[in-house]
Amino acid sequence: MRSRIMEMVVVFAILVLAVAMWFVADKFPNSMKYAKIDSDYWPKLVCGALAVVSFLQLLQQAVGLRASLQSASGGTRSSVDPAYVVRLVLIGGLILAYFFALQWLGFVVATMLFLWAASFATPYSNLTAKLLFSPLFTFGLCLFFTRGLSLPLPRGQGIFYDLSLLLY
Amino acid sequence: MLDSYLSALGYMASNPFTFLLIIFSVVWGIAFGSIPGLTGIVGVALLIPFTFAFDPIEGLLLLGGVYVGSTFGGSISAILFNTPGSPEAACTALDGYPMARQGQAGKALGIALAASAIGGIFGTVVLMVAAPPLARLALEFGPPEYFALAVLGITAIASIGHGSVLKALMAGLLGLGVATIGIDPLTGMPRFTFGSMMLLTGVGFVPAIIGIFALAEVLQRFGEGPQKGYVIDDVSTELPTISEFIQTRVTLLRSSVIGTVIGALPGVGATTAAFISYSEASRWSKHPEKFGTGVPEGIAAPESANNAAVGGSMIPLLALGIPGSATTAVMIGGLTIHGIIPGPQLMQTNSDLVYSVFIGMMLANLLMLIVGVRMARYFALVLKAPYALVGPAIVVLCMTGVYALQNNVVDLAVMLVFGVVGFAMRRFGFPVASFIIGLVLGPIAELSLRQGLMLSDYDVTAFVTRPIAGTLLLFSAVSLIYGLAGQFLRTRRKLNGDTGPETSEEAKA
């Protein structure tokens, strides 16, 4: 039941988004030369169609929800595993932190910290592998990109920028 | 023509170094194709300065081999890690990864490899025998034809996947909507950028697909924790048997034709070819509801099409001097540093070069079968490592590859956003394939529709009265009706509780 309601919320959000984007498109600056096929031409077609389809989907889900409420008198409560949410938030948070750390700390430091944090956050008993994998993979990848392919990697800021300059 | 081929063969036979170059280039291409973010374009671009040390034929063979290898290489990581190494392999992940999860990773890799080789050989044969007339046909394609081609792909959105048609349409329309972000290609006005400079260039396709596939997969797997069902084993690559090959022969042929024709169209490329072939394979399948669950046709169609598109994209390059794809545009650089200007005169003035390239590409496709089996096996060794190490390493590899694309942090942000979008789409049952088809074909459909309307003085009938466009639109309408009718009949059968052969099979599955 809860997942059905969640799904309806998502579809409703898409419906609202489609309508809102239609009005945003309506405000696009006009161009005299392309009056009949202006910048809003295609986005309005797409947003309009998306709104109609989302509305139909919402109706279908509402009918389904009503039917299941009537037949199951309250229905079964589907529960979300709290451990699942914790793991998801943890890895999501780590990836986000890695994204920012790449800009501040540079590739080498940020990647080593991320790999250590992520491997220690997941159940795996080989401590040596956890400890060694991070620096080996980081330096291997760094060498491959900077020396082998001459491709850029984030260098970070301040002291970390200077450190990165020493390495690549 | 025969003399030219014999002369080219003689050159290659007397110069065994060319074989070594082809082997090296295929290995290099597969490696670049399989690493997310490092596409074949990067692989070709990095080798261009080295071609200066070789003669023009060797240089072009080197670049052609990389192009062939990289187009297949993307499928290895797509199948094993749900992480497409290159955009044209995004479609392969849709069925390749589910098949690998069912313990048939080796089979999935074998199908991808064989289909790639068959598509590549088909595209090269067409290139060898019909380059000039096909190039002229490609020039007949105006905006109405491009629009009709895009419509052909988009109409398959409704018939893809085994879930709700409305959700598939929503996902497709969302993809079309996301594709409109950025500067309008016609008027130059910013759209849906909300004042952000970062969004002016639009949503990068490579960061988006890496986010949708790879990052969403990592989130899902970490969220669900260590599970036995996730262990992908049996990764020794096995090529399809004759009977399996016969089962997919129609898909292979259709996709190879689609791939060659689309590849020959300037500016469309292998990714579009792969998605349209996948759409058509799904539409004409007796079991379209099984697409996305790990069916061989779902791997064979995009792989044969994207490799056929390699040969196809060489057609306008060699016959007209127009690059058919981004990679061939980079290859023009390799030709010009040797003082060779591709164009209609090339086949007369440099016939040795052109025919050697034809033979070289044929060899590259054949060698790919041998090299690909080995490389896929080495790649698969990564699967023996625990996911606690592999998962974060995939994140790092995706971040590094996407950053290296344009030295741009915005691409990383796009990848993260689409990682969440991909995760949410899976969670709420929206088909990812429909979303990506919208994202790929949206810009082509929009631009060609508006250009076509402008050129025809806003006369919509111009889209149906032109022979190629009209035929494609008619074909789209027929196949849409066919697909929807099939879906309607299947739903009705399910509602009636009919347990015919199809439903029994589904129950077993």
**Is the per-residue pLDDT at B40 higher than 50?**
yes
- Residue B483 has which token pair? 């697909």
Kindly report the pTM of this predicted structure: 0.80
- Residue B96 has which token pair? 């390749």
pLDDT tens-digit readout, A125-152: 788 888 999 999 999 999 988 888 788 8
Query: Which position has the token pair 């969004």?
Result: B199
Q: Which residue of A has its CA nearest to B400?
A: A153
**Is the per-residue pLDDT at B180 higher than 90?**
yes
pLDDT tens-digit readout, A37-73: 999 999 999 999 999 999 999 998 888 888 877 776 5
| A163 and A88 co-located in one domain | yes
| A62 and A86 co-located in one domain | no
**Is the per-residue pLDDT at A36 higher than 60?**
yes
Region at B226 (left for phi over 0; alpha for psi -120 to 50; beta for the rest):
beta
- Residue A153 is assigned to a structural domain of this protein: yes
Q: Which residue of A has its CA nearest to B452?
A: A37
Helix, coil or strand: residue B424? helix
Can you tell me the distance from the alpha carbon of A39 to that of B180, in angstroms, rounded to the nearest whole number?
A: 9
| A50 and A92 co-located in one domain | no
Can you tell me the distance from the alpha carbon of B22 to that of B66, in angstroms, rounded to the nearest whole number?
A: 8
- Looking at A24, A51, A72, the residue that finishes a domain is A72
Which residues is B190 bridged to in the sheet? B183
| A134 and A57 co-located in one domain | no
**Is the per-residue pLDDT at B272 higher than 50?**
yes
- Looking at A72, A103, A132, the residue that finishes a domain is A72
Cβ distance A57 to B224 less than 8 Å, yes or no, reads no
Helix, coil or strand: residue B356? helix
| Alpha-helix runs per DSSP H in B155-295 | 165-178, 205-210, 216-224, 242-247, 249-264, 270-284
- Residue A59 is assigned to a structural domain of this protein: yes
The per-residue pLDDT for B446 is 93
Distances (CA, A) of B465 to A155, B460, B472: 57, 9, 11
Q: What are phi and psi of B391, to 5 degrees?
A: -55, -55
| A87 and A163 co-located in one domain | yes
pLDDT tens-digit readout, B212-252: 988 998 898 888 876 654 556 556 778 888 888 888 899 99
| A64 and A98 co-located in one domain | no
The more confident residue out of B171 and B41 is: B171
The per-residue pLDDT for A78 is 56
Q: Identify which of B15, B118, B16 has the alpha carbon closest to the alpha carbon of residue B365.
A: B118
Mutation for A interface: B28, B220, B389, most A CBs within 10 A: B389
| A61 and A108 co-located in one domain | no
- Looking at A72, A97, A120, the residue that finishes a domain is A72
- Residue A20 is assigned to a structural domain of this protein: yes
- Give the mean pLDDT of B21-45: 84
* Residue B159 pLDDT class (50, 70, 90 cuts): low
To 10 degrees, what angle do helices A127-143 and A82-120 make? 70
Count: domains in chain A: 2
**Which domain, by its residues, includes A48?**
2-72
The per-residue pLDDT for B160 is 64
At position B361, the amino acid (one-letter code) is M
Could you say which residues from 19 to 48 on chain A have a Cβ atom under 8 Å away from some Cβ of chain B?
Answer: 21, 24-25, 28-29, 31, 33-34, 36-39, 41-43, 46-47
* Residue B507 pLDDT class (50, 70, 90 cuts): very low
| A107 and A155 co-located in one domain | yes
CB-CB neighbours of B408 under 10 Å: 17
- Residue A156 is assigned to a structural domain of this protein: yes
Cβ distance A99 to B412 less than 8 Å, yes or no, reads yes
Nearest to B173 among A39, A46, A98 (CB): A46
The per-residue pLDDT for A144 is 87
| A137 and A106 co-located in one domain | yes
DSSP-assigned states of every residue in B430-487 = --HHHHHHHHHHHHHHHHHHHHHHHHTTS-TTHHHHSHHHHHHHHHHHHHHHHHHHHH
Our CA-based measurement puts residue B37 at a distance from the nearest CA of chain A, in whole angstroms, of: 12
- Give the mean pLDDT of B119-128: 89
* Residue B504 pLDDT class (50, 70, 90 cuts): very low
| A51 and A123 co-located in one domain | no
- Residue A77 is assigned to a structural domain of this protein: no
Number of residues that make up chain A? 168
Nearest to A39 among B164, B191, B407 (CB): B191
Q: Is A122 on the interface with B (CB under 8 A)?
A: yes
Q: Is A97 on the interface with B (CB under 8 A)?
A: no
* Residue B161 pLDDT class (50, 70, 90 cuts): low
- Give the mean pLDDT of B259-268: 82
pLDDT tens-digit readout, B72-96: 888 988 998 888 888 888 889 999 9
- Give the mean pLDDT of B457-484: 84
**Is the per-residue pLDDT at A106 higher than 90?**
yes
